[in-house]
Structure 1
Amino acid sequence: MTSATDPRFAEALTASGPTPDYPVRMSRFGQLVGSWSAKGSRLDEATGEWHEREFTWIAEFILDGRAVQDVEVVASDTHPSGFETVATAVRVYDPHAGVWRVSYFAPTMGEYCNLIATAWRHGIRQDGTRTDGRAIRWNFTGITEDSYTWEGWLSDDEGVTWHLIERNEGTRIR
């Protein structure tokens, strides 16, 4: 097995824009395509303490413009590239169901989540299940050309009540 990267992989994965088959539907997450400087806080459930964090969030069209993939990267002095990829999410529009199917992967944290995304108020709501089986709700709100707010909610009682466990605000870089 060789470790050489086939340069066609990135070209085959990424797309220059949304599919022309359903451009309005693709704008739901397509409006977030670009690079973002993000600041936020995350609750440590074990200690009850909030921890501040900064990261870069990069989103691009993939799969011939039928999906949007994002990566969360943080600066790293130990990684040869100067950054470490913390997580990725693939958001694929399902034209038969009229929803977005979201799969999120954060291997270093042991989180693998599946969600369904729909329009919500003036933003996007993503409902699903965390790796531990608890219900999650991720909301994008306040989306503009240059900023967004994202909140992560968790339910311990199958969606009867919710508590905030993460909040991020992004500012467009590109």
Structure 2
Amino acid sequence: MKTLFADGPDPRYAPEIDEFGRLAGAWRTRITCHPTDGAPPYSVNGASEFGYALDGRAVIDVWRRPAREDAPADGRAPDQESGLCVRIWDPRLQLWRFTFHGTAHGDAVHMYAHRIGDEIVMERAHGGTLVRWIFADVTADAFHWRNERSTDGGHTWHLDQEVHARRR
């Protein structure tokens, strides 16, 4: 896997790569889902690991819920999911190309990401729905991530999911 993993960012694009690269390492997460049917929100512990990849021009992460140490002894949980995220800096477009692959339901999500103020915003249009995933409040030891959806062209947004993370 020497071709996949990298020790750090490509020096030519280090400031851009480090937008996500500063998350390199292991994280304990608390994932809260906000159902659209009016049911109360529910939370589960999870885990994420970020790292540099592909000659330092990408940042990947893998995550799971529940966290391995919180999963039942047989390793199966009713709402178990694990996923792989690949973020590749595109110097020509000056933005990130982002892909998520989820294993439980076969989800594949493609987005573009860019910095807006202090946040990193990943966006896509899917049918008549706008979706954005946002990294906010990023510090050396914590970050907040949220998944929002709009069905009215971005006038109003519904919070679908959020993650509060602490560095391990």
Counterpart-to-counterpart distance in 2, 1:31 and 1:110: 28
Matches within 5 A, 1:89-108: 89-108=85-104
Given candidates 96, 104, 109, the residue that maps to 1:113 is 109
Q: Does 1:43 align with 2:34?
A: yes
TM-score by length of 2: 0.86
Aligned counterparts of 1:102 and 1:61: Cα–Cα separation in 2: 14
| Structure-to-structure mapping, 1:112-151, within 5 angstroms | 112-129=108-125, 134-151=129-146
Q: TM-score, normalised by structure 1?
A: 0.83
1:57-76 matches, within 5 Å, as 57-73=48-64, 74-75=67-68, 76=71
Give unmatched runs, 5+ long, in structure 2.
Answer: none
**CA deviation after TM superposition for structure 1 residue 159, in Å:** 2.4
Which position in structure 2 is the counterpart of 1:153?
A: 148
Q: Would the alpha carbon gap of residues 112 and 99 (structure 1) be closer, same or farther in structure 2, given more than 3 Å must change?
A: same
Unaligned runs of 5+ in 1: 1-9
**In 1, Cα distance between equivalents of 2:155 and 2:106:** 25
117-126 or 157-166, which moves further after superposition?
157-166
Deviation at 1:158, TM superposition (A): 3.3
Structure 1 residue 85: Cα displacement = 6.2
Q: Cα deviation per residue 1:92-145 (whole Å; 9 max; x = unaligned)?
A: 000000000111111313422111111122121111145x76321111111000
Using a 3 Å threshold, how does the CA distance of structure 1 residues 34 and 85 change in structure 2: closer, same or farther?
Answer: farther
Deviates more, 1:109-118 or 1:17-26: 109-118
Contact 1:58 1:70 in 2 (8 A): yes
Q: Could you say what secondary structure the match of 1:49 adopts?
A: coil
**SS state at 2:20 partner:** helix
| Residue 48 of structure 2 corresponds to residue 53 of structure 1 | no
> What is the RMSD computed on CA atoms of the aligned residues?
2.0
Distance 1:133 1:14, change over 3 A: farther
Counterpart secondary structure, 1:44: coil
Q: 1:46 to 1:110 in 2, by over 3 A?
A: farther
Question: Percent identity, aligned pairs only?
Answer: 27
1:18-75 CA distance string (max 9 Å, x none): 1112111111111111111111201233563312011111011110110001011232
Q: Is 1:113–1:129's contact at 8 Å kept on the other side of the alignment?
A: no
